[in-house]
Structure 1
Amino acid sequence: MVEAVLLESVPTDEEGRTFHLVYTEYAVLSVTDPALAGQPFLAAPNEMETFLAAQLTAARQGTETAPSLDARQETVVLLALSAGLRLSVLLGQRGAQDATAVLRYRLGRLFPAD
């Protein structure tokens, strides 16, 4: 579930690229435009953080994988990573496949298969 949510932040086609460009433009504009402050789309990052923290907590229950994992802190790291990767794809710094590989690498470090 965590992987699927994070991978949605990577624009892999033209429709995804357009969506992420528009969302990013509104998010940045909301910093200086009082008319956009408090809009529902601005609550989405907080809701996503809460959701992913719960998913990370559930994923480690009953396992010895990542026993000292702070789910809230790791969620912040993962969301920051995915936002940075999204921007790097939008700017053409890397392709969607490379960004996907980086996300999967990080998740593999958090939850090794062994």
Structure 2
Amino acid sequence: MLLVTGATGHVGRFLVDELNQRGAKFRALVRSPRDDLPAEQLIGDLDGPLDLRGVDTVFLLVPGTGLEHTGNVVSAARTAGVRRIVYLSTRPTSRPPRRSYSPRTATRTSSTH
């Protein structure tokens, strides 16, 4: 059994669609029941108690760094004997880098020194 957190988010919706197309058996962790989510739903929150019995793999999809939520999920996964956690954060794609890098600027920088 798979569990998808963040199933209603941008990336999660694509993962849910893909899992459905492949006929995978999975649950989606949601805060409240959703009519628009074609999956078995586990009502809960990343910060609350999670019963992950019977789950083999957790897709932990979180916005930003999401680090504040990972400890609770990892703890629940250990307790339940989950074999695998796939962690994906949107942090690197949600903001432009502080300093851009390109071969052109690197060439100019190295040739001026």
The TM-score bracket by the shorter chain reads under 0.3
> Based on CA coordinates, which of the two structures has the bigger radius of gyration?
2
Normalising by structure 2, we get a TM-score of 0.24
Normalising by structure 1, we get a TM-score of 0.24
**Higher RCO structure, 1 or 2 (CA under 8 Å, sep 6+):** 1
